[in-house]
Amino acid sequence: MRERRPATLDDLDRQLLWALQDDLPLCERPFAVLATGLGVSEEEVLQRLRRYLAEGIVTRFGPFFQVERMGGAFCLAAMAVPEERFDEVTVAVGAFPQVAHNYRREHALNMWFVLAATRPEGIVETARAIENAVSLPVWLFPKEREYFVRLRLRP
């Protein structure tokens, strides 16, 4: 994924992007509910949301799945990737559907990604498959405990 510069947003974008991070109602016309709250038309909400997705301001709009609740698992993982192999390894790791996101970070462990699997064994299986694919060790950092926070980004 390419780097993004901060988008140019107007006041309505800001309000809408804030509201869109909240749970969409389960009703016949949920965008109309959102629109009423913001004092704009339903079509305006939909048009803007389509634009956010097209421009990459929003990467996805839909249900957020909690794989742990269905017996699966998430796991943070990291690798120390030699600089000259970084691009090649990025492509190989990105090809695994279990890799939900991946960030380059400035550390000896310079590639940090999150694995998501619908079966708990899927984490270790995927980590081993990545190790085989790139011939580098994958370090797993499963969460032992989560301390609850819920942050919405103020656009």
Q: Which of residues 64-103 bind other proteins (CB under 8 A)?
A: 64-71, 76, 78, 90, 93-94, 97-103
∠68-21-3 over CA atoms, to 5°? 90
Q: Which of 59, 82, 121, 135 binds other proteins (CB under 8 A)?
A: 59
Contact of 117 with 51, CB cutoff 8 Å: no
Judged by CB under 8 A, the residue of 85, 129, 131, 141 near other proteins is: 141
Tokens of 154: 């103020």
Quick note: the x/- pattern for other proteins over 9-48, rule CB under 8 A, is x-------x--xxxxx-x-xxxxx---------x---x--
Q: Which of residues 116-135 bind other proteins (CB under 8 A)?
A: 116-119, 122
Minimum gap (Å) between residue 65 Cβ and other proteins = 5
The residue written with tokens 């301390």 in the block is: 147
Sheet with 139-141, side-by-side order of all strands: 111-117, 73-79, 139-141
